[in-house]
Structure 1
Amino acid sequence: RTIIVPLSDNEEYEEAIIVHERCLAGRMNVLQEDHQNTVESLNNLGSVYAGLKKYEKTLEYYERALNGNEKLLGKNHTSTLMTLENIAVINMYLKNFGKAEELYQTALEGYEGQLGKDHKNTMKCARLFRNSLATSGNEEERLLALTTAYPWLNEDDA
């Protein structure tokens, strides 16, 4: 498991895809799709495709990982929320702003409930959500509500 991840970090993406796909196939065969290690492999493969900017393929793997995490861990588990946030990021790259904002809001609400407003994951998600609202340009009311709930978001621009 630890050998695979550094391949992605070293931009040896094609080799990483082969290794991750082999790992996923083995886990699907032995553990089935609804096992946490298989879900982890789905997420890892999605991350490699994201590095290659193959965002449609990335979404395919991230969404399968999200379904697995929701079944195994529940909708508000931090691993599920991180996968949801990853899907939001990819939707931003694909310029699916409305979908990204919906996903960020769901993830942010989950992080707040699980970790509190001041946790680093909550704060990161709030920043990403703010950026998506600002990028789409048509969500002034929601942006105002977000920056009211998280006043420090305004300080990031200073």
Structure 2
Amino acid sequence: MLSGKGEYEEAKECYEKVLAGKMKVRGEDHRETLYTLNNLGGVYFKMGNYEKAMENFKRGLQGREKFFGESHPDTLTSIMNIGNVYYRSNDYGKAEDLYERALEGYEAQLGKDHRRTTECAQNLNYCQSTQK
């Protein structure tokens, strides 16, 4: 909620505290811990700290692949988030590869008209048009 209001520093501190608690109580591969990692990565992304965003998104991806499997929509969201970091870092080739991977999974799991599928398709489109 705080990150939605643009209060990123406060949101970051909040998520870091929550993450520490979740790690201690639930463990690093628990579903709630993985959601918190993703949310913390999202705050770092919005703050423009792509290195920390990538670190959290990658940790979340590893856990989500283990917990949910490679084709679960939450795992695909982690893949798309990492693609977003590569895109913002001007590494369009890596971003495109990840967007394509996520899009294929979203289409198979959620269908072509789902919000996540269309968001990923749009990201891929932007990425491809940036490279032209």
Instruction: Give the TM-score of the pair, scaled to structure 1.
Output: 0.80
**In the alignment, residue 107 of structure 1 is paired with which amino acid?**
A
Give the counterpart letter for 2:77 in structure 1.
Answer: M
Identity of paired residues, percent?
Answer: 46
> What residue is the counterpart of 1:48 in the other structure?
43
> In the alignment, which residue of structure 2 is the partner of 1:65?
60
Q: Does 1:13 find its partner at 2:8? A: yes
SS for the counterpart of 1:71 is helix
- Divergent runs of 4+, >6 A: none
2:95 maps to 1:113 = no
Q: Structure 2: how far apart are the matches of 1:124 and 1:45?
A: 20
Cα distance in structure 2, aligned partners of 1:34 and 1:118: 31
Q: CA deviation at 1:114?
A: 0.8
* Residues 22-50 of structure 1: CA deviation (Å, up to 9, x unaligned): 11001111111110000011011111111
Count of residues in Structure 1 that have an aligned counterpart in Structure 2: 132
CA distance in 1, matches of 2:19, 2:107: 32
Structure with the larger RCO, 1 or 2 (CA within 8 Å, 6+ apart): 2
Structure 1 CA distance for aligned equivalents of residues 111 and 18 of structure 2: 35
Gaps of 5+ in 2: none
Equivalent position SS for 2:90: coil
Give the alignment's TM-score, normalised by structure 2.
Answer: 0.95
Map of 1:144 onto structure 2: none
- After TM superposition, the structure 1 stretch with the greater mean CA deviation from structure 2, 120-129 or 48-57, is 120-129
Structure 2 residue corresponding to 1:133, chosen from 124, 128, 132: 128
> Radius of gyration: which is bigger?
1
